[in-house]
A and B are shown apart, each in its own frame.
Chain A
Amino acid sequence: MYDFEYHRAASLDDAAGKLKSADDGTLVAGGMTLIPTLKLRLASPSDLIDISGLAELSGIKAEGDAVVVGAATIHAAVAASSDVRAKIPALADLAELIGDAQVRNRGTLGGSIANNDPTADYPAALLALGATIRTDHREIAADDYFEGLFETALDAGEIITQVAFPVPEKASYQKFPNPASRYALVGVFVAKGPSGVRVAVTGAGLDGVFRVTEMETALAENFSPDAIKDVSVSADGLNADIHAGADYRAHLIGVLARRAVADCT
Chain B
Amino acid sequence: MTDTGIGAAVRRKEDHRFLTGRGTYTDDINRPGQTYAHILRSPHAHARIKSIDVSAAAKASGVVAVFTGADMAADGVGGLPCGWQIHSKDGSPMAEPAHPPLVTDKVCHVGDQVAVIIAESRTQAKDAAEKINVDYEELPAVIDMTAAIKDGSPLTHDDVAANICYDWHLGEKEPVDEGFAKAKHVAKIDIVNNRLIANAIEPRVAIGDYDPSSGEYTLYTTSQNPHVIRLLMGAFVLQIPEHKLRVVAPDVGGGFGSKIYHYAEEAILTWAAGKVKRPIKWTAERSESFISDCHGRDHVTHAELALDGDGKFLALRVSTLANMGAYLSTFAPCIPTYLHGTLLAGVYTTPAIYVEVKAVFTNTVPVDAYRGAGRPEASYLLERLVDRAAREMGLDPADIRRKNFIPADAFPYQTPVALQYDSGDYTATFDAAIKIADVDGFAARKAAAGKAGKLRGLGYSTYVEACGIAPSAVAGALGARAGLYESAEVRVHPTGSVTVFAGSHSHGQGHETTFAQLVSDSLGIPFENVDVVHGDTGKVQFGMGTYGSRSLAVGGEAIMKALGKVIDKATKIAAHVLETSEADIEFKDGQFTVAGTDKSMAFGDVALTAYVPHNFPHETLEPGLDESAFYDPANFTFPAGCHICEVEVDPETGVVEVIDFTAVDDVGRVINPMIVEGQVQGGVAQGIGQALLEECVYDESGQLVTGSYMDYTMPRASNLPNITVANETTLCAHNSLGVKGCGEVGAIGSPPAVINAVVDALSDFGVTDIAMPATPEKVWRAIQSAQAAG
Q: Which residues of A line the B interface, CB within 8 A?
A: 1-2, 40-41, 176, 179-181, 183, 242-245, 248, 251-252, 255
Given contacts A242-B697, A255-B653, is CB(A248)–CB(B712) below 8 Å? no
Q: Are A248 and B781 in contact (CB under 8 A)?
A: yes
A2 partner residues in chain B, CB cutoff 8 A: 127
Give the residue name and chain of the B residue nearest to A256 (CB).
Answer: B653
- Is B653 in contact with A176, judged by CB distance below 8 angstroms? yes
B653 A252 Cβ-Cβ under 8 A: yes
Q: Which residue of B lies closest to A186 (CB)?
A: B653
In the complex, the 10 A-B pairs of residues with the closest C-beta atoms, listed nearest first: A180-B713, A181-B710, A179-B713, A255-B652, A248-B777, A180-B711, A244-B777, A242-B697, A242-B705, A255-B653
Cβ 8 A contact of A180, one of B123, B709, B780: B709
Query: What A residues does B705 contact at CB under 8 A?
Result: 242
Q: Once the chains bind, are A243 and B653 in contact (CB under 8 Å)?
A: no
* Cβ contact of A179, chosen from B123, B126, B776, B780, cutoff 8 A: B776
Name 11 A/B residue pairs within 8 A (Cβ), A-sorted. Answer: A2-B127, A176-B776, A179-B693, A180-B709, A180-B710, A180-B711, A180-B712, A181-B709, A181-B710, A244-B777, A252-B653
A243 touches B781 (CB 8 A): no
**A55 shortest CB reach to chain B, Å:** 34
Residues of chain A within 8 A of B549, CB atoms compared: none
Assess whether A181 is in contact with B653, with CB atoms less than 8 Å apart.
no
Q: Which of A41, A179, A181, A251 meets B775, CB within 8 Å? A: A179
Within 8 A of A (CB), among B704-721: 705-706, 709-714
Sample of 20 more A-B contacts, CB < 8 Å, known A180-B709, A255-B653? A1-B123, A2-B127, A40-B287, A41-B126, A176-B653, A176-B776, A179-B713, A179-B775, A180-B710, A180-B711, A180-B713, A181-B710, A181-B711, A242-B697, A242-B705, A242-B706, A242-B711, A243-B777, A252-B653, A255-B652
A251 and B710 contact, Cβ closer than 8 Å, known pairs A176-B653, A179-B775, A243-B775: no
B540 to chain A, nearest CB (A): 38
Contacts of A252 in B (CB 8 A): 653
Chain B interfacial residues counted at CB < 8 A: 21
Chain B positions 683-741 with a Cβ under 8 Å from a chain A Cβ: 693, 697, 705-706, 709-714
B522 to chain A, nearest CB (A): 46
A243 with B780: CB separation less than 8 A: no
Scan residues 96-128 of chain B and give those whose CB is less than 8 A from a CB of chain A: 123, 126-127
Return A228 CB to nearest CB of chain B, in Å: 14
A40 to B288 CA separation, bound complex (whole angstroms): 11
Among A41, A248, A255, chain B packs the most CB atoms within 10 A around the CB of A248
Contacts known (A179-B775, A242-B705, A255-B653); A248 close to B711, Cβ less than 8 A: no
Q: In the complex, what distance in Å separates the CA atom of A181 from the CA atom of B713? A: 7
Residue of B nearest to A40 (CB): B287
For A181, the chain B residues whose CB sits under 8 A away are: 709-711
The distance from the CB of A43 to the nearest CB of chain B, in whole angstroms, is 15
**B657 → chain A, closest Cβ, in Å?**
13
Q: How far apart are the CA atoms of A47 and B10 in the complex, in Å? A: 54
A255 to B652, CA, bound (A): 7
- Distance (Å) between the CB of B651 and the closest chain A CB? 10
Distance of A181 Cα from B123 Cα, bound (Å): 28
Instruction: Give the complex CA separation of A252 and B777 in angstroms.
Output: 10
CB distance from B57 to the nearest CB of A (A): 16
Q: Tell me the bound Cα distance from A86 to B390 in angstroms.
A: 55
In the complex, how many residue pairs between chain A and chain B have their CB atoms under 8 Å apart? Answer: 37
CA distance A248 to B781 in the complex (A): 8
Asked whether, in the complex, the Cβ of A243 is within 8 Å of the Cβ of B711, the reply is: yes
Give CA–CA (A96, B622) in the complex, Å: 70
**A183: which B residues are within 8 A, CB to CB?**
710
Residues on A with beta carbons closer than 8 Å to the beta carbon of B777 = 243-245, 248
Q: Please report the C-alpha to C-alpha distance between residue A86 and residue B367 in the assembled complex, in whole angstroms.
A: 54
Residues of B within 8 A of A179 (CB): 693, 713, 775-776
One digit per residue, 1 when the CB lies within 8 angstroms of any chain A CB and 0 when it does not, for chain B 544-568 equals 0000000000000000000000000
- CB proximity to A under 8 Å, residues B765-786: 775-777, 780-781
Closest to B650 in A: A255
Residues of A with C-beta under 8 A to B775: 179, 243
Interface string of B342-363 (1 = CB under 8 A from A): 0000000000000000000000
Q: Which residues of A contact B653 (CB under 8 A)?
A: 176, 252, 255
Which chain A residue lies CB-closest to B719? A179
Instruction: Indicate if the CB atoms of B780 and A251 lie closer than 8 Å.
Output: yes
From B773, which residue of chain A is reached at the shortest CB distance? A179
Q: Which of A41, A242, A255 has the most CB of B within 10 A?
A: A242
Interface centre among A1, A176, A252 (most CB of B within 10 A): A252
A242 to B693, CA, bound (A): 12
- Cβ–Cβ < 8 Å partners of B287 in chain A: 40
Q: Tell me the minimal C-beta distance from A202 to chain B in angstroms.
A: 16
Interface string of B741-776 (1 = CB under 8 A from A): 000000000000000000000000000000000011
Task: Give the complex CA separation of A181 and B714 in angstroms.
Answer: 10
Identity of the chain A residue whose Cβ is nearest the Cβ of B652 in the assembled complex? A255
Complex: A228 Cα to B127 Cα, angstroms:
55
Bound together, the chains give a CA A251 to CA B127 distance in angstroms of 46
> Shortest CB–CB separation between residue A120 and chain B, in angstroms?
13
A252 CA / B713 CA spacing, docked (Å) = 20
Complex formed: what's the CA distance from A105 to B697 in Å? 32
Residue of A1, A2, A176, A180 with most partner-chain B CB within 10 A: A180
**Chain B residue at minimal CB-CB distance from A183:** B710
Q: Are A248 and B780 in contact (CB under 8 A)?
A: yes
User: Complex Cα distance A248/B287, Å?
Assistant: 29
Q: Which residues of A contact B776 (CB under 8 A)?
A: 176, 179
- List residues of chain A with CB within 8 A of the CB of B780: 248, 251
CB distance from B775 to the nearest CB of A (A): 6
| Chain B residue at minimum C-beta to C-beta distance from A255 | B652
CA distance A55 to B776 in the complex (A): 44
C-alpha spacing A245/B780, complex, angstroms: 11
Interface-central residue, A179, A248, A252, by most chain B CB under 10 Å = A179
Task: Looking at the assembled complex, report how far the CB atom of B599 sits from the nearest CB atom of chain A, in whole angstroms.
Answer: 65
Q: Which residues of B contact A248 (CB under 8 A)?
A: 777, 780-781
A244 and B779 CA atoms in complex are apart in Å by: 12
Closest beta carbon of chain B to A26's beta carbon, Å: 19
Question: How far apart are the CA atoms of A14 and B301 in the complex, in Å?
Answer: 65
Complex interface bits, B71-86 against A, C-beta within 8 A gives 1, otherwise 0? 0000000000000000
A72 to B: closest C-beta gap in Å: 25
A46 vs chain B, min Cβ distance (A): 16
The residue in chain B whose Cβ has the minimal distance to the Cβ of A39 is: B285
Measured between beta carbons, the chain B residues less than 8 angstroms from A251 are 780
Min CB distance A32 to B, Å, is 13
Contacts of A176 in B (CB 8 A): 653, 776
Min CB–CB distance B777 → chain A (angstroms): 5
- A residues less than 8 Å from B693 (CB atoms): 179
A80, B123: Cα distance in complex, Å: 39
Q: How far is the CB of A121 from chain B (nearest CB, A)?
A: 16
* CA gap between A82 and B552 in the complex, in Å: 55
Chain A residues with CB under 8 Å of B123's CB are: 1
Complex Cα gap A242–B776 (Å): 12
Closest Cβ of chain B: how far from A127's Cβ, in Å?
23
B692 (CB) vs chain A CBs: closest residue: A179
Q: For A243, what are the chain B residues with a Cβ–Cβ distance below 8 Å?
A: 711, 775, 777
User: How many Å from the CB of A5 to the closest CB on chain B?
Assistant: 16
Q: Distance (Å) between the CB of B166 and the closest chain A CB?
A: 31
C-beta contact mask, B660-694 vs A, less than 8 Å → 1, else 0?
00000000000000000000000000000000010
How many Å lie between the Cα of A90 and that of B302 in the bound state?
A: 50
Considering the complex, give the chain B residue whose CB is closest to the CB of A180: B713
CA A183 – CA B711 in complex, angstroms?
11
Tell me the minimal C-beta distance from A254 to chain B in angstroms: 9
Q: How far is the CA of A180 from the CA of B707 in the complex (A)?
A: 11
- CB neighbours (8 Å) of B697 from chain A are 242
